[in-house]
Structure 1
């Protein structure tokens, strides 16, 4: 958390986010950018993973002028009504004049500050390539050049960094050096990771087909939590932009077991 008397126009902040994240490059599941318009001048940004009511309430409590999140309010396939939980979230944002900025796939993909880049850095992995649809997946090796001895060593590293248990499917037949990862609900990228030469794949969730693929293809699958794997991009990107513009930033992590 930092403090600053500086305030900037909301349009300036939007332009800075767009310049970093280039949302026009992505085909996404909802709108990227400014999802809810608030006050025209912004002095404090709060970042978080999801625009939940708990995060909105926490942002109100600390005097935020803007929220920057990975999971916004609007998604393809919603019925478009403003009732129930949607009304409650929007009501709070509008009553306190808080701008909501949300970036989904662009935040996953950013080469240094995004969810995948930041997850890899924390896990001690150095990316050497990209894979999958829209090249969201990262593939690389341990940054220190030392292969992990076995599946247990990788599982231990994941649990230590993410501070939660992980689900492992499959067993390594040799030392692990080619590791692919894609944060959140990227279990559908598993086949692309296998094709890219991965010995292990790290993501947030697992569905029924991936367990069979892991066993049949001899590639480890680690499901480490959707929220747990996606809580690093939003604060990294927001902190970078806030510092460049001279405004305050605070990350608020709302616990989520998923």
Structure 2
């Protein structure tokens, strides 16, 4: 089956509720390629490696969580940015990127799917963020939750807190949301999980007594884009291939 670039862009904009989010980057079509799309490659980040994978799979589109043109970055197209964009244009490949809309989606979002992977029960949202709150599955301690996260995500999770402490209530937000720890502290949960960690995060966790788990930016955000690709394949009958390119952060 084949879908047009315009039809795909319009569908994704509506399905992911793009207009609801004030983001740090454009959501939607970022680099224009072929009008007709038969094969899509999905991945977390639009790196040169992922572009080369798309070329190898003869894809007409790449769909990612982390695309280009971020707020505050240099607007000039030179160096690595030039190489990436030039490769896309040379091979007539469309690049679609969806950041916060894919984190916060209530069906295929990174936060919802992390909970599903871990067996957590969602009870609400975390203050004024796209993070979620809930309860863990069964009896957990700092040690057992670190082990379960590490095994589930295939990532060496960093834990700040006492291993023997019981953990029942939890908040989480995938990716670079370590500063949402303050909202988690205010929410009174036992633990907070995100993808990255900063020096200040350690002190906040230690002094507040709220456990912090750094579970990997890529590792916590691979599920949404993969599920979105599977959704598109089922709905439109097109060939979609998820390419996982793990990184150590």
TM class, shorter-chain normalised?
over 0.9
Match of 1:147 among 123, 139, 153: 139
Pairing of 1:28-39 with structure 2 (within 5 A): 28-39=23-34
Match of 1:42 among 21, 30, 37: 37
The reply to whether residue 229 of structure 1 matches residue 227 of structure 2 is no
Q: Is the contact between residue 185 and residue 204 of structure 1 (CA under 8 Å) also seen in structure 2?
A: yes
The reply to whether residue 191 of structure 1 matches residue 196 of structure 2 is no
Q: How far apart are 1:157 and its partner, in Å?
A: 0.3
For structure 1, the 5+ residue unaligned runs are 1-5
Aligned structure 1 segments of 4 or more residues deviating by more than 6 angstroms: none
CA distance in 1, matches of 2:218, 2:90: 28
TM-score by structure 2 length?
A: 0.96
The reply to whether residue 129 of structure 1 matches residue 120 of structure 2 is no
CA shift in 2, pair 1:224/1:247, >3 Å: same
CA distance in 1, matches of 2:86, 2:165: 55
Q: Which residue is 1:138 aligned to?
A: 132
- Root-mean-square deviation over aligned CA pairs: 1.3
The number of residues matched between the two structures is 249
Q: How far apart are 1:172 and its partner, in Å?
A: 6.2
The reply to whether residue 74 of structure 1 matches residue 65 of structure 2 is no
The reply to whether residue 241 of structure 1 matches residue 232 of structure 2 is yes
SS at match of 2:166: coil
Q: Which residue is 2:112 aligned to?
A: 117
Q: Is the contact between residue 204 and residue 229 of structure 1 (CA under 8 Å) also seen in structure 2?
A: yes
SS at match of 1:232: helix
Pairing of 1:77-116 with structure 2 (within 5 A): 77-116=72-111
After superposition, give the CA deviation of every residue in 1:201-258 in whole Å (9 maximum; x if it has no partner).
1111111222111111111001111111111110101211231111111100112111
Q: Which residue is 1:3 aligned to?
A: none
CA shift in 2, pair 1:224/1:175, >3 Å: same
SS at match of 2:132: strand
After superposition, give the CA deviation of every residue in 1:4-32 in whole Å (9 maximum; x if it has no partner).
xx001111111111111111111110100
